[in-house]
Amino acid sequence: MKRANITLDEIYNLLLNTATREWERTQLLKCKSEIENGTNNEQAFSELEYRLRPLAVRNNLTPDVAEFYTKLSGKNQKIESFDLTKHFEKDAPGVERAIFAGGCFWCMVEPFEARPGIIAVISGYTGGQVDNPTYEIVSRGTSGHVEAVEIIYDSKLISYETLVGIYWQLIDPTDDGGQINDRGANYKPIIFVNNDEKKEVANKSRKELEQSRKYSKPIIVPIRNAEKFWPAENYHQDFYKKNRVRYWRIENSRRQYLAYLKVKGWIKRKFSRE
């Protein structure tokens, strides 16, 4: 394998990088320790490449580690980055945006992206006090951010009301401590609105859900004014496409729990009437 010249300084820089995930940091520390204890550099780097490879081939490394892996593996090609062009473009007439927080953003993309009229669904962070938040920062639950999705859509083909209706089907609207297996302030469900019309639609939809008595507990989802949306790291984008098996397991567990809640609500309504 023709490997580019790699130094321990590059390992140190990645270890100090706040965006490096804990699992990645563990592999880097192991490589560093092996070299410091006398292992041949080439052997240690080869072992590191082997450990990182499963995530690299699924485009699931953090950006800087992905770039480092390209050098480590001796390959010239860059790992493909998610196209964020639509997020930064000025919206054309009829193009609008919606932001929903509903727990882990991995499970919030496919249900929207599959609908006609959807231009892009971007995973990211919003609602916090820190600029340029990383996954590590948001995961601590102290920055005020929540994981969310930004949906860019053609309002002539799909309405905001329809998007809100889809959103209710994806979450437990009675849980303010997170969502399903994802616990913490960064997983709270929130609807973010960017104008009064959307606020009115969201409030009406929430009131209808409350009156339906589909759930045995009160609806707690707040409707807040939209704040700056920060796109998440590359490896979080389109997760359902990159890691189908893991996504399917998480999504299946989520669907089963939400179905249980609906049955529980139905039982409560039935006995209330009787």
Give the Cβ contact number of residue 78 at 10 Å: 9
Q: Dump pLDDT digits (tens) for 195-212.
A: 999 999 999 999 999 998
Please identify which of the residues 104, 108, 119, 151 carries the catalytic annotation. Answer: 104
**Over pLDDT 70: what percentage of the chain?**
92
Surface-to-core class of residue 272, CB atoms within 10 Å of its CB (0-12 exposed, 13-18 middle, 19+ buried): exposed
Please determine, for residue 78, whether its predicted confidence score (pLDDT) is greater than 70: no
Instruction: Return the DSSP state at 42.
Output: H
Q: Which domains does the chain have, with CATH numbers?
A: 8-73 (no CATH), 85-253 (3.30.1060.10)
The answer to whether 31 is a known catalytic residue is no
Q: Which of 18-32, 145-159, 172-186 has the highest mean pLDDT?
A: 145-159
pLDDT of residue 77: 47
Amino acid sitting at position 201: V
Angle between helices 41-57 and 22-36 (to 10 degrees): 170
**What is the pLDDT at residue 226?**
97
